[in-house]
Amino acid sequence: MNPPLSPWQRITNVRNNLALEQTFTYYLAFIALGLTTASLGPTLLGLSEQTGSTLGQISFLFTARSFGYMSGSFIGGRLFDRLPGHRTMALALVVIAITLTAVPIAPFLWILIGLMLIMGACEAMMDVGGNTLIVWVHRDGVAPYMNGLHLFFAVGALISPLLFAQVVLFTGGFGWGYWLLALLMVPVMIRLLPLPNPQPLVTRAEQASVRPNVLLLALIVIFFVMLAGAELGFGGWVYTYAVRANMADEATARYLNSAFWAAFLAARIASIPIATRVRPRMIIFGDLILALTGIALILLLPSSVAALWGGTILFGLGIASTFPTILNFASRHLTITGSVTGWFFVGVSLGSMTIPLLIGQSFELIGPQSVLWIIGGALVLALAVFLIILFVVRRQASQKV
């Protein structure tokens, strides 16, 4: 017969169980976030037809969503410092569900732009909230749980184009895909509302007293601009590229989009053990070279369907772990506060806003190949900026000595 538990053991068990419940709920929330984030790419042509817009015009949806995301990053960071985090995330989910419901029935482009602006702001609040609250729950032991959080985002992003492919197959349109996503937001919201909120790590006064290296911070923000722009640009436009380049029909192109997210997911899984054995700078170099190899393969063999699929998979494998790895790298050389993290998300927003828009504007003027040249250029710039970051870090270390 087991001895009775002491009061301290009972408290510890309750805390551990609560932490697991909170973590599981954040994982569900990030599956939902991945579902919504990856929904635009496979439906871009359909939304263009729905609103009577050209590809250049419909690309403004990426800009609106990214501008909303940037705004939501600033607002969300402050809200999570002042309000209960779980209620804030639940409210964001409610608004996302409403906007998802309205997307397939919006008759005009300006309405879609407004919906994407709102959706982007709420997605940012979800993103900031999940990344912040899971740190508050697990503190110094957050690393594996944080990797898991981003892994489950990739799960949602993988499922989304598959879901739309099946919906179109059975219904002949993509509307029910958006409505199904809206329904999937509801159980996550219900789980969040009664869940106790974790305690913050530090006070706002303590955060304000930390001053980062401005040059290093600016360089990392620029890196995020290039990285996020390349990732979203490829994920959002590879479907349209494959169709307009006559490399695939619409159904096959949706599965190509899913192949990208499947490779993305596989790399996120593999990155967890790799991160414990390999230095972040080496992972980032390897990731960027692999992603560039994927782009080069498609460019060198533009009429090869096999090269398109192979290049898409290589790009997904390369780009997937770069984001969490640069965060890990930054945490070693900057004191990570809410303000610093907010600037990172500004970089993500700017990249997500500008590069997909540039692709959309050049798509009709130059042709489908512009997708690959712009994304490849962004990756080359990211690689150059990272070399400068390493130089600044080395100089900073030598000055301390």
CATH number of the structural domain 16-201: 1.20.1250.20
Calpha distance 122→68 (Å, rounded): 8
pLDDT at 395 over 70: yes
Classified by CATH at the fold level, domain 206-401 comes out as Growth Hormone; Chain: A; (1.20.1250)
Decide if 16-201 and 206-401 have a common fold: yes
Q: How far apart are CA 32 and CA 156, in angstroms?
A: 6
* CB of 312 closer than 8 Å to CB of 337: no
- Express each pLDDT in 105-119 by its tens digit: 999 999 999 999 999
71-105 pLDDT tens trace: 888 787 777 777 888 999 999 999 999 999 999 99
**How crowded is residue 341: how many other Cβ atoms within 10 Å of its Cβ?**
20
Please report, for the chain, the start and end positions of each structural domain, with discontinuous segments joined by +.
16-201, 206-401
Q: What is the pLDDT of residue 6?
A: 45
- Asked whether the predicted pLDDT for residue 279 surpasses 90, the reply is no
Cβ pair 291, 230 in contact under 8 A: yes
DSSP state of 106: -
Distance CA 220, CA 393 (A): 11
Of 245, 364, 226, which Cα lies nearest the Cα of 299?
A: 245
